[in-house]
Amino acid sequence: MLTAQDIEAIQARILELQTEHRDLDAAIHTLGSTVGHDQLQLRRLKKRKLQLRDTITLLQMRLIPDIPA
């Protein structure tokens, strides 16, 4: 069972990750729109963005209480 402090910590972490996700999205857009952009760097940014999305989803799932079947 999660305590109120645990919930607050998870919510704060989710907000941090969402901010980083938005920042990466902007960086990907900027890098992708430049001529002669670095494909390797672009792939790394996209991979990191996907990892963030997965982590955010896992943390959000932790906040949902278990419902007995």
pLDDT digits (tens, 9 = 90+) for 1-56: 889 999 999 999 999 999 999 999 999 999 999 888 899 999 999 999 999 999 99
Going from N- to C-terminal start, the domains of the chain cover 4-60
pLDDT, tens only, 53-66:
999 999 999 999 87
What whole-number distance in Å separates Cα of residue 28 and Cα of residue 48?
A: 11
Give the per-residue pLDDT at 69: 65
3-state SS assignment for residue 37: coil
